[in-house]
């Protein structure tokens, strides 16, 4: 059976995971790959922008909010939307950041993220 999200096969949906923490980046990537999504992993905004500036399709960016190099996930998402206006975004964070839900351009999940919650939120955002 081929799984779909909306009208598209899951294996045709590409998710970019951006997290400076190797453990979380790889763990979230493995969960999403196991669900059938195509996944790219990167540790920072530079790697994310490098991917987004190519012709490679990216449907959703899963991005950590707190990252090094003075470019946090919210700033990265704004830069990403300049390159790909229809890019869907889901945030993750291990910090309690007052007002971040108002700044974010998508839902915010708290680390550690339960696998089922991650999969459900990704599917929900992709279906929107």
Whose tokens are 């704004």? That residue is: 78
pLDDT in tens, 60-76: 999 999 988 889 999 99
pLDDT in tens, 81-117: 999 999 999 999 988 776 666 666 789 999 999 999 9
Whose tokens are 């680390």? That residue is: 111
7 alpha-carbon distance from chain centroid: 20
pLDDT of residue 2: 44
Give the chain's mean pLDDT.
Answer: 89
Query: Strands 8-9, 4-5: parallel, antiparallel or unpaired by DSSP?
Result: antiparallel
């Amino acid at each position: 059976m081929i799984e779909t999200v909306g009208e598209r096969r899951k294996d045709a949906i590409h998710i970019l995971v951006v997290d400076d923490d190797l453990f979380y980046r790889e763990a979230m990537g493995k969960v999403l790959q196991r669900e059938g999504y195509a996944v790219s992993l990167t540790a920072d905004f530079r790697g994310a922008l490098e991917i987004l500036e190519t012709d490679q399709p990216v449907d959703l960016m899963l991005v950590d909010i707190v990252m090094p190099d003075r470019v946090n996930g919210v700033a990265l998402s704004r830069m990403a939307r300049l390159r790909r206006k229809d890019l869907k975004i889901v945030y993750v964070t291990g910090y309690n950041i007052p007002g971040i839900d108002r700044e974010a351009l998508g839902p915010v999940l708290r680390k550690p993220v339960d696998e089922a919650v991650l999969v459900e939120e990704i599917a929900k955002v992709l279906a929107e």
